[in-house]
């Protein structure tokens, strides 16, 4: 594969995703140098950050000793520790990730209890958050901090919690990221953020910060990575010789974790988002543009503009709205996508054509939408039966004997050799159909009760009142998601010569 490099050995002896020492990355273009400088943290900011990191670790060890908490290690890791974060002034966030590591023999319940107690003593205004297990988010010396308990394991390929690999990740990356590499990491992060695909959370399904850093370590620069990506396909495997990580059928990119070769670092990346990245790589490689880092501001569509879009499309939109349970995004958004799939099933089964779906959550409300070809079906539908000669033939003929309720014609033979009947539709309008089917549809486990007991199904016609739409932020957000799809760079202005590279 172009750009593949011979494997070296990480902390556990596994192959790493590094690339060959030969062929240094091409020099950045003047435009990339300018953007990199804009994305670079100031010296004052870095000094303040370094002081806060040291003080936070020292405070954690001191508080643990004072409270007789058997803390083994306190570590600040992640982009703040490696200085690869995007500054808030460039659309990024500067958080400190504090890992409180305990003996692996400590029971999980005790890990959470001691970790939260210690974190609560360190942070101002702590709030409990949930991932694999609870952690605290609060403030320390003016910085937002996520304090996460975990185990100090001796093997990175045998973690007991999702965060136990973190010290190994930091040990692997820190010596490989020189000042230029840090600039390139920030360039790639900003490039991905412009596309809306930076972040491995279940809402975004994009590139994690760790994946970004590994890609720069492998290819050396944003330009080299994008040049390589112009020849990639889906799925793309960037694996050294030997066993590959186990992956799902829908995997987009496979990059083994250098500290745990059995794990795919890119498992959260969706095929849709990886495809967008590949297209953007081709466009940028052909003509680098500053807009890939600082795009023109996109106006938010008004209610009237959304209504005009729907009228021009000549379609209908059916909406399911319901009270949103208080869940973290990583739990909520997969279940909202399951709601989208749940709507499609009965709609297509009964004869509606589903063009697209969307979902959103805003405040205490969630909305799931389906754009369909029409709001009402014809009075007659075809019900396919078994092929002649199957065991089900007699049962089908008995079920649809003359006089059966709803039977309009048949049974008769179709061109495929199957039996068919023409039936009268008991429900023809989409709202009535979904209300009838709602109780039998499978939603996410946390959404089943809010949807089936308190959900509302309605048709969002182009002539729907502005007050109705404006009064439902979740509905408006889902409508925008339904219609605002496309390639981000299609509407950007051209830039002559902005991306010319140094020869």
Beta carbons of 499 and 28 less than 8 angstroms apart: no
| pLDDT value of position 195 | 95
Tokens of 300: 């938010």
Q: Where are the beta strands (DSSP E) in 36-81?
A: 71-77
What distance in Å separates the CA atoms of residue 213 and residue 181, rounded to the nearest whole number?
A: 9
For residue 323, the cross-strand partners are 365
- pLDDT at 501 (0 to 100): 43
Residue (of 137, 274, 97) closest to 198 by Cα position:
274
Is there a contact between 245 and 256 (Cβ–Cβ < 8 Å)? yes
Query: For residue 364, which of 433, 240, 454 has the smallest C-alpha distance?
Result: 454
Q: Which residues pair with 262 in a beta bridge?
A: none
From the centroid of its chain, how far is CA 319? Answer: 23
**pLDDT score, position 336:** 93
Predicted local confidence at residue 461, as pLDDT = 75
Contact call for residues 194 and 292 (beta carbons, < 8 A): yes
- Distance (Å, rounded) from C-alpha 495 to C-alpha 503? 19
Helix, coil or strand: residue 399: helix
- All domains in the chain, ordered by first residue: 27-41+177-300+486-503 (1.10.1410.30), 43-82+85-175 (3.30.460.10), 303-376+427-483 (3.30.70.590), 380-424 (no CATH)
Reading the block at residue 341, the tokens are 């799939």
Nearest alpha-carbon partner for 476 in 306, 243, 353: 306
pLDDT in tens, the chain (503 residues): 333 333 333 344 344 556 545 467 777 899 999 999 999 999 999 999 999 999 999 999 999 999 999 999 999 999 999 999 998 888 788 899 999 999 999 999 999 999 999 999 999 999 988 777 789 999 999 999 999 999 999 998 889 998 999 999 999 999 999 999 999 999 999 999 999 999 998 889 999 999 999 999 999 999 999 999 999 999 999 998 878 898 989 999 999 999 999 999 999 999 999 999 999 999 999 999 999 999 998 888 888 888 888 889 989 999 999 999 888 888 899 999 999 999 999 899 888 999 999 999 998 899 999 999 988 888 998 889 999 989 999 999 999 999 899 999 999 999 999 999 999 988 889 999 899 888 888 887 889 889 988 989 988 877 665 666 777 889 999 999 998 888 999 888 776 444 444 33
Contact assessment for residue 139 and residue 123, using Cβ atoms and an 8 Å cutoff: yes
Global pTM? 0.85
Cα 502 to Cα 239: distance, rounded to the nearest angstrom: 32
- Phi and psi at residue 75, to the nearest 5°: -140, 130
Alpha-carbon span 369 to 336, nearest angstrom: 11
Given a contact cutoff of 8 angstroms between Cβ atoms, the answer to whether 96 and 145 are in contact is yes
């Amino acid at each position: 594969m172009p750009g593949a490099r011979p494997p070296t050995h990480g902390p556990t002896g596994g192959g790493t995703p590094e690339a060959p020492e030969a062929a240094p990355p091409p020099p950045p273009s003047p435009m990339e140098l300018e953007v990199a400088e804009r994305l670079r943290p100031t010296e004052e900011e870095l000094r303040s950050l370094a002081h806060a990191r040291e003080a936070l670790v020292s405070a954690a060890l001191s508080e643990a000793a004072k409270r007789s908490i058997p803390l083994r290690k306190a570590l600040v890791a992640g982009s703040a520790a490696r200085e690869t974060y995007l500054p808030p002034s460039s659309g990024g966030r500067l958080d400190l990730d504090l890992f409180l590591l305990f003996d692996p023999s400590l029971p999980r319940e005790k890990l959470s209890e001691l970790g939260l107690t210690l974190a609560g003593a360190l942070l101002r205004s702590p709030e409990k958050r949930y991932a694999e297990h609870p952690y605290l988010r609060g403030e320390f010396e003016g910085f937002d901090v996520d304090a996460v308990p975990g185990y100090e394991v001796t093997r990175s390929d045998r973690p007991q919690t999702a965060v136990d690999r973190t010290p190994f990740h930091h040990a692997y990356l820190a010596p490989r990221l020189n000042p230029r590499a840090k600039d390139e990491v920030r360039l790639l992060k900003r490039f991905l953020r412009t596309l809306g695909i930076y972040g491995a959370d279940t809402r975004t399904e994009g590139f994690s910060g760790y994946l970004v850093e590994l890609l720069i370590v492998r290819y050396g620069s944003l330009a080299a990575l994008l040049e390589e990506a112009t020849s990639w396909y889906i799925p793309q495997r960037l694996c050294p010789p030997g066993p590959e990580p186990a992956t799902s059928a829908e995997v987009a990119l496979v990059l083994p974790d250098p500290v745990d070769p059995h794990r795919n670092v890119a498992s959260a990346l969706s095929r849709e988002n990886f495809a967008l990245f590949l297209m953007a790589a081709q466009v940028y490689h052909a003509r680098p543009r500053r807009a890939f880092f600082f795009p023109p501001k996109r106006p938010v569509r008004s209610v009237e503009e959304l209504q005009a879009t729907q009228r021009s499309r000549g379609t209908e939109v059916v909406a399911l709205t319901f009270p949103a349970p208080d869940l973290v995004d990583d739990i909520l958004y997969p279940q909202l996508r399951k709601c989208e799939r749940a709507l499609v099933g009965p709609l297509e089964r009964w004869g509606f054509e589903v063009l697209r779906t969307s979902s959103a959550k805003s405040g205490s409300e969630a909305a799931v939408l389906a754009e369909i070809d029409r709001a009402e079906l014809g009075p007659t539908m075809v019900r396919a039966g078994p092929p002649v000669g199957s065991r089900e033939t007699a049962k089908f003929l008995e079920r649809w004997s003359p006089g059966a309720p709803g039977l309009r014609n048949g049974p008769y033979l179709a061109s495929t050799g199957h039996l068919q009947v023409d039936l009268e539709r008991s429900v023809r309008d989409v709202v009535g159909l979904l209300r009838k089917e709602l109780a039998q549809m499978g939603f996410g486990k946390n959404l089943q009760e809010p949807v089936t007991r308190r959900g509302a199904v309605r048709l969002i016609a182009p002539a729907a009142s502005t007050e109705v739409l404006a009064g439902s932020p979740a509905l408006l957000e889902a409508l925008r998601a339904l219609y605002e799809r496309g390639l981000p760079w299609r509407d950007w202005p051209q830039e002559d010569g902005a991306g010319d590279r140094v020869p």
